[in-house]
Amino acid sequence: MFGTGYGVRAMLQIFMWIALAGSWNLISGLTGYVSFGHVAFFGAGAYTGAILVAKAGWPWLAAALAGGVGACAVALVIGYPCLRLKGPYFAIAMLGLNEVLRALVSYFEGLTGGGSGLSLPTLHATVPIYYAMAATAAGVTLLTYAIITSRFGLRLMTIREDELAAEAMGIDTARHKLYAFLISAVGPGIAGALAARDQGYIEPISVFPLAMTITMIVMVLFGGKGTVWGPVLGAVVLFVAQELVWARFPYVHQLLFGAIIVGVVLLMPRGVLGILQLRYRLPRTI
Amino acid sequence: MNVVITPAMVGQVVISGILAGALYSLVALGLALIFGVMRVINIAHGPLLMLGAYTTFFLYDLFGLNPYLSIPVTMAALFVVGVVLQRTLVFRVVDAPELSSLLLTFGISIGLVNLAQLAFTSDLRAVEYLTGSFPLGPFAVSKPRLVAFVFAAGVTGLAFLFLQRSRVGKAIRATSQSREVAMVCGIDVGRIHMLTFGLATALAAAGGALIAVIVAIQPEMGQIWTFKSFLVIVLGGAGNYPGALLGGMLLGLIEQMASLFLTTQLSEVVAYVLLVVVLLVRPTGLLGGRQI
């Protein structure tokens, strides 16, 4: 199966989801700030990369890195004010950000092609892009491990447990949250630029779908939020499940997705690894 | 864009803004009730509005029932739907972190939209009952929107009367002020949560019934209303019910004003920037405080 066109494409998707879910975990799993529009960074990276390739003739790898930078820049502009918002307000502000980016991209037609989308020159490089996506997924996972085992990570988790107490202990919470937010935007930015290059065509509705944010959240919740391997586990299991099961029932696909969300939230809010950690006293750095 | 703005245009915009604003207030009051009482942001609020619109459509299409007379029927039907949703699913996340309630209600939301697609197809439907507009001085006033304004104001007024005067209404306000104290006073908080969700859903349904006469009905018509309603309750102050009225009017006016200077796409951006600014500068909303 691997080595064939389908195998490479499926693995490319799995790596993309690992990078996305892992990045969401970095901000929301560690600090507890629910980014309900994280796909905005995927879209920002996709458009940054696609514009550089299509209009400036950049090589795809450089454009992918620029996609990460572009997403990071958006995160800086938005995170600085919005990370002061607490609880549901932050979640909704992020949801709105996604809608706004989509509206802006549709509006600036000269640069982005507007609603009719942006086509990239043909390039047969699925295998190199596949390796780049694998590297992104590995990078996000390694970074998560590095952060969770560091003082920085401990401070982020302190913010999650009790932000007031964290501040009282002298943690500069605003700065820590912002750093975590910036880091969490890079992975989706690169992944977005790579996915755009691979697909060769992007349009506003294909790179800013709310369902994608929800999918990454559910993957993390399923695997276990705040853990290193939870997002990887969730991404692999849910992606495979989607390919095997959901694709066979196209009409009730959304309904099944809704049922899975409800099921994960109600039945296993800690996720697989969270439950195992609790039951078998596994290390926090799993 | 170089457009000359005449006083007549401004007047037109104010009229359209107020007419749209009453609908926003009506729908947002439901979201504000759920948020105030349960601290849950109901993402499914818009899709429930969509169900209300379909109910009105089918009552009109199959039985020829006047869409405005169908409002009580639609409200009653969706009240039951709301109570059932709260009883079966939503009550489990009332005290959970916001991620749980956001995801759960999102799951309900896409479930409802998908069910509507399966049951009613994605075809556009319309209740062609009242169309066109009539002149009022130099202005044109859309007939269905004016009637919607009157009914929206009426239903909102009744809802306020209910909240202010009735025992259940007082219990709902007490619960949203302090759940613990409400319990101590002998209020069955679980039952109040159920009634609140039902009432809020009924308000969304009333909005849906009125909107059914104005715009095309399709399964995905609802989602935008969730975000707009949230915007309204942020403007007015979350948990501040009179604030929802002010917020609705403001959103209506701002949207219409923005459409005068900008394209429709950018008026969404304006609304978003406004949301973030209000949250940062006055997180308690424009009316401030929690005057419930």
Predicted local distance difference test score (pLDDT) of residue A148: 93
Confidence of residue B34 (pLDDT cuts 50, 70, 90): very high
Name every residue whose Cβ is closer than 8 Å to that of residue A97 and which is 6 or more positions away in sequence: A37, A40, A78, A82, B272
Q: What is the pLDDT along chain A (286 residues), one digit of tens a residue?
A: 445 578 888 899 999 999 999 999 999 999 999 998 899 999 999 999 999 999 888 999 999 999 999 999 999 999 988 888 887 888 888 888 888 888 888 888 888 888 788 888 887 778 889 999 999 999 999 999 999 999 999 999 999 999 999 999 999 999 999 999 999 999 999 999 999 999 889 998 889 988 899 999 999 999 999 999 999 999 999 999 888 877 777 777 788 888 888 998 888 888 888 888 888 877 777 7
Residue A252 is nearest to which of B114, B230, B279, comparing CB atoms?
Answer: B114
Residue B107 is nearest to which of A28, A92, A265, comparing CB atoms?
Answer: A265
Closest CA to A49 of A123, A103, A127, A116: A123
* A92 contacts in chain B (CB < 8 Å): 41, 227, 230, 234, 275
Question: Contact A31/A91 with Cβ under 8 angstroms?
Answer: no
Q: How far apart are CA A28 and CA A228, in angstroms?
A: 13
Q: Give the CA angle between residues B151, B153, B156 to the nearest 5°.
A: 105
* A255 contacts in chain B (CB < 8 Å): 110-111, 114-115, 118
Subunit contact B103:A265, Cβ cutoff 8 A: yes
Give domain limits for chain B: 7-281
As given in the structure block, the two tokens for residue B8 are 């007549």
Subunit contact B104:A262, Cβ cutoff 8 A: yes
Q: How far apart are CA B266 and CA B274, in angstroms?
A: 12
Predicted local distance difference test score (pLDDT) of residue A112: 84
Evaluate if residue B127 carries a pLDDT over 60: yes
Question: Contact B90/B248 with Cβ under 8 angstroms?
Answer: no
As given in the structure block, the two tokens for residue B113 are 């939209």
Predicted local distance difference test score (pLDDT) of residue B203: 96
Q: How far apart are CA A47 and CA A69, in angstroms?
A: 12
Closest CA to A98 of B80, B63, B227, B125: B227
Question: How many CA atoms are closer than 13 Å to the CA of B113, on its beta-carbon side?
Answer: 22
- Phi, psi angle pair for A140, to nearest 5°: -60, -40
Residue with tokens 């982005």: A112
Predicted local distance difference test score (pLDDT) of residue B3: 62
Closest CA to B195 of B101, B85, B105: B85
Q: Report the chain A residue with the minimal C-alpha distance to residue B101.
A: A265
Predicted local distance difference test score (pLDDT) of residue A3: 52
Q: How far apart are CA A63 and CA A154, in angstroms?
A: 33
Subunit contact B280:A99, Cβ cutoff 8 A: no
Predicted local distance difference test score (pLDDT) of residue B107: 92
Higher pLDDT, B14 or A254: B14
As given in the structure block, the two tokens for residue A10 are 């499926």
Subunit contact B110:A85, Cβ cutoff 8 A: no
Q: How many helices (H) and strands (E) does chain A have?
A: 15, 2
Query: Which of A104, A210, A266 is most worth mutating to test chain B (most B CB atoms within 10 A of its CB)?
Result: A266
Subunit contact A217:B98, Cβ cutoff 8 A: no
Element (H, E) at B142: strand B139-142
Predicted local distance difference test score (pLDDT) of residue A51: 94
User: What is the DSSP secondary structure assignment for residue A29, as one 8-state letter?
Assistant: I
Size of interface A-B (CB pairs under 8 A): 110
Mean pLDDT of chain B: 87
As given in the structure block, the two tokens for residue A185 are 């935007």
State pLDDT tens for residues B188-211. Answer: 999 999 999 999 999 999 999 999
Highest-confidence range of A225-234, B94-103, B225-234, by mean pLDDT?
A: A225-234
Question: Contact B108/B44 with Cβ under 8 angstroms?
Answer: yes
Distance from CA of A107 to the nearest CA of B (A): 7
* B239 contacts in chain A (CB < 8 Å): none
Query: Which of A257, A265, A270 is most worth mutating to test chain B (most B CB atoms within 10 A of its CB)?
Result: A265
Long-range contacts of B164-170 (CB under 8 A, 24+ apart): B168/B192, B168/B195
* A107 contacts in chain B (CB < 8 Å): 263, 265-266
* A258 contacts in chain B (CB < 8 Å): 107-111, 114
Q: Which residues of B lie inside 8 Å of A (Cβ-Cβ)?
A: 35, 39, 41, 89, 92-93, 96-100, 102-104, 106-111, 113-115, 117-118, 227, 230, 234, 263, 265-266, 268-269, 272, 275-276, 279-280, 283
As given in the structure block, the two tokens for residue B95 are 């005290």
Higher pLDDT, A29 or B96: A29
Cross-strand bridge partners of residue B133: B142
* B108 contacts in chain A (CB < 8 Å): 258, 262
Higher pLDDT, B209 or B261: B209
Subunit contact A266:B263, Cβ cutoff 8 A: no
Evaluate if residue B291 carries a pLDDT over 60: no
Higher pLDDT, B185 or B139: B185
Residue A259 is nearest to which of B98, B111, B275, comparing CB atoms?
Answer: B111
The correct CATH number of B7-281 out of 3.40.1350, 1.10.10, 1.10.3470, 2.20.110 is: 1.10.3470
Predicted local distance difference test score (pLDDT) of residue B112: 94
Closest CA to A43 of A104, A126, A1: A104
Residue B141 burial class via C-beta count within 10 angstroms: exposed 0-12, middle 13-18, buried 19 and up: middle
Distance from CA of A80 to the nearest CA of B (A): 11
User: What is the DSSP secondary structure assignment for residue B134, as one 8-state letter?
Assistant: E
Subunit contact B41:A84, Cβ cutoff 8 A: no
User: What is the DSSP secondary structure assignment for residue B141, as one 8-state letter?
Assistant: E
Q: How far apart are CA A112 and CA A107, in angstroms?
A: 8
Predicted local distance difference test score (pLDDT) of residue B105: 93
Q: A224-250 burial, b for 16+ CB within 10 Å, e for fewer?
A: bbbbbbbbbbbbbebbeebeeebeeee
Reduce the DSSP state of residue A222 to 3 states and report it: helix
What are the distances in angstroms from CA A131 to CA A11, A103, A228, B289?
10, 32, 21, 54
User: What is the DSSP secondary structure assignment for residue B217, as one 8-state letter?
Assistant: B
Question: How many CA atoms are closer than 13 Å to the CA of B94, on its beta-carbon side?
Answer: 22
As given in the structure block, the two tokens for residue A217 are 């959240």
* A101 contacts in chain B (CB < 8 Å): none
* B113 contacts in chain A (CB < 8 Å): 254
As given in the structure block, the two tokens for residue A85 are 């918002």
Name every residue whose Cβ is closer than 8 Å to that of residue A34 and which is 6 or more positions away in sequence: A28, A88, A90, A91, A94, B98, B99, B102
Rg (CA), chain B: 19
Query: Which of B41, B110, B118, B274 is most worth mutating to test chain A (most A CB atoms within 10 A of its CB)?
Result: B110
Q: In the predicted model, what is the mean pLDDT of residues B91-105?
A: 88
